[in-house]
């Protein structure tokens, strides 16, 4: 069988080269996916008829796209990891059925999410601070309705992206996402400015881009390289679901727990912002929520790189574990940790030295001076532990690729639920609005103390089980 069909290059090429080959397209795919919401917010912020009210509305809706993403990546990342293991063990039959089952499961779950969102729109928006003022509430409802209609396409494209990577085609996965994002960027401008369609226009541009990405993913499924799908591949296979869904449960919990943290933070910033002597004034109550959303979008850019670095390693790790080459897995883990720390440091320097430039992209010139002042403080405080945040996130996902779902789940849940929910509630009791900002770096420091212990244990295990490194393991 040819090399392309078997993916044997995953145990022959140097780990560092493989990481670059798989991680870079994955990073670009995730960054481009992040652009969907970020571009919306940039255009909205600079539209004189939307401004910070529209930005706050966008922030309110964002967590629900993350929750939908959580379900999609649970299916996609779990299938990606298991398919890679199957291919490493030369089991193409189960690989094909896993992909077919993932397709069916994604379609059904995306329809269920859409129906749920449409039925519970009001309580959902209230939960995430949408009632901060009447203007924000009205814009949030409009944006949420149209975004919800595109959820099936969004979830399908996100779930298929890691599956396409597991087939050895990270570049196509990247291209599919790029095509959708470019469409979104162009249509955002047309719909928001010349046509003045407001929040509906921003949402429609996003949905059209997502439809294109989903369509390209369907095309690829019909032209896979290492796996051949047939009609028999598409169905419910409980014995396979029991094996691949647990491998994706960490991805789900990581994203879903992030939504819980967002709910706590957004409610806290809304509550304490209303009690602030500046932001408690009429016409300014939406500013803390809008600014927080902007800072979270920059964090999303940084964390997309973190996730891309580690998620790009999943097919490599799975294949090498299946081929019993744990020495190569250890090398890959070392490269990953170093890369995460360096990228986190670079992002930290940007937010510390150029916060005014960052907030200027989001319409600061059209807002009250308090908008920029709070944004600068938010960037510098909220994101001051970015290197630790990136190492934490990268480790969570790498543990998942190693099959250590329990350890990964414990770390992720501790970060987002224990620290991410309770610190934004407790710290403002002492520091008021600034306490919400302190909660994020404190959570990352506490989480890293736990992550470092797990990292050392993984190294010991890989040293004990690793095969002797040969010339191809360099």
CB burial of 246-272 (b: ≥16 within 10 Å; e: otherwise) equals bbbbbbbbbbbbbbbbbbbbbbbbbbb
CB burial of 95-133 (b: ≥16 within 10 Å; e: otherwise) equals bbbbbbbbbebbeebbeebbebbeeebeebbebbbbebb
Domain contains 8 = no
Domain contains 31 = yes
Domain contains 401 = yes
Residue 461, domain extent: 13-469
Domain contains 403 = yes
Domain contains 444 = yes
Which of 166, 159, 165 has the alpha carbon at shortest distance from 95?
A: 166
Residue 36 CA to residue 207 CA, distance in Å, equals 9
Return all residues near 200 (Cβ < 8 A) that are at least 6 apart: 142, 143, 146, 191
Domain contains 215 = yes
Q: What total number of domains does the chain contain?
A: 1
Q: Is the C-alpha dihedral spanning 296, 247, 338, 177 positive or negative?
A: negative
Model pTM score: 0.80
pLDDT digits (tens), the chain, 474 positions: 344 445 677 777 887 788 888 888 778 877 876 777 788 888 998 998 998 999 999 999 989 998 999 999 999 989 988 888 888 778 888 888 999 999 999 999 999 999 999 999 999 999 898 888 899 999 999 999 999 999 999 999 999 988 998 788 888 988 998 899 899 999 999 999 999 999 999 999 999 999 999 999 999 999 988 888 888 889 888 889 998 998 887 678 777 888 888 899 999 999 999 999 999 998 899 999 999 989 988 898 898 899 888 888 877 887 887 777 888 888 889 999 999 999 999 999 999 999 999 999 888 888 889 999 999 999 999 999 999 999 999 998 888 788 787 888 888 889 988 999 999 999 999 999 999 999 999 999 999 999 999 999 999 988 886 544 444 444
Residue 331 CA to residue 11 CA, distance in Å, equals 13
Phi-psi region of 283 (alpha: psi -120 to 50; beta: other; left: phi over 0): left
pLDDT for 366 equals 83
Domain contains 259 = yes
Return all residues near 356 (Cβ < 8 A) that are at least 6 apart: 364, 372, 376
pLDDT for 276 equals 93
Domain contains 4 = no
From the number of C-beta atoms within 10 Å of its C-beta (0-12, 13-18, 19+), residue 449 rates as exposed
Residue 398 CA to residue 403 CA, distance in Å, equals 9
Return all residues near 378 (Cβ < 8 A) that are at least 6 apart: 291, 292, 295, 437
């Amino acid at each position: 069988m040819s090399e392309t069909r078997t993916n044997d290059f995953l145990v022959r090429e140097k780990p560092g080269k493989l990481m670059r080959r798989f991680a870079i397209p994955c990073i670009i795919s995730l960054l481009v996916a992040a652009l969907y919401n970020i571009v919306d917010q940039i255009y909205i912020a600079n539209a004189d008829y939307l401004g910070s009210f529209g930005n706050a509305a966008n922030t309110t809706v964002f967590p629900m796209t993350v929750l939908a993403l959580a379900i999609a990546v649970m299916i996609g990342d779990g299938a990606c990891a298991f398919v890679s293991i199957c291919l490493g063990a030369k089991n193409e039959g189960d690989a094909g059925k896993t992909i077919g089952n993932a397709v069916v499961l994604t379609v059904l779950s995306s329809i269920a999410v859409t129906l749920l969102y449409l039925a519970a729109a009001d309580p959902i928006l209230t939960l995430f601070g949408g009632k901060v003022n009447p203007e924000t509430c009205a814009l949030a409802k409009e944006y949420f309705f149209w975004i919800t209609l595109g959820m099936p396409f969004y979830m399908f494209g996100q779930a298929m992206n890691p599956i396409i990577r597991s087939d050895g085609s990270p570049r196509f996965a990247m291209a599919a996402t790029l095509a959708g994002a470019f469409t979104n960027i162009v249509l955002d401008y047309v719909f928001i400015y010349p046509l003045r369609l407001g929040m509906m226009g921003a949402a429609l541009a996003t949905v059209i881009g997502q439809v294109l990405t989903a369509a390209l993913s369907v095309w690829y499924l019909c032209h896979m390289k290492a796996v051949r799908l047939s009609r028999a591949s598409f169905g419910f296979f409980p014995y396979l679901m029991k094996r691949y869904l647990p491998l994706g449960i960490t991805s789900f919990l990581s994203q879903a727990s992030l939504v819980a943290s967002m709910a706590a933070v957004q409610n806290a910033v809304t509550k304490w912002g209303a009690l602030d002597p500046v932001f408690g004034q009429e016409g300014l109550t939406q500013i803390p929520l809008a600014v927080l959303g902007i800072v979270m979008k920059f964090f999303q850019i940084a964390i997309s790189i973190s996730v891309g670095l580690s998620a790009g390693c999943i097919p490599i790790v799975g294949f090498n574990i299946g081929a019993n080459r744990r020495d190569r897995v250890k090398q890959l883990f070392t490269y990953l940790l170093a890369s995460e720390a360096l990228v986190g440091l670079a992002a930290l320097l940007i937010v510390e030295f150029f916060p005014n430039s960052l907030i200027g992209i989001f319409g600061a010139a059209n807002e009250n001076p308090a908008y920029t002042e709070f944004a600068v403080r938010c960037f510098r405080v909220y994101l001051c532990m970015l290197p630790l945040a990136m190492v934490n996130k990268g480790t969570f996902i790498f543990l998942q690729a190693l099959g250590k779902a329990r350890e990964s789940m414990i770390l992720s849940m501790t970060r987002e639920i224990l620290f991410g929910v309770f610190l934004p509630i407790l710290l403002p009791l002492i520091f008021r609005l600034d306490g919400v900002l302190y909660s994020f770096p404190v959570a990352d420091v506490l989480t890293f103390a736990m992550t470092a212990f797990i990292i050392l244990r993984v190294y010991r295990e890989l040293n004990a089980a690793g095969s002797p490194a040969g010339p191809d393991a360099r």
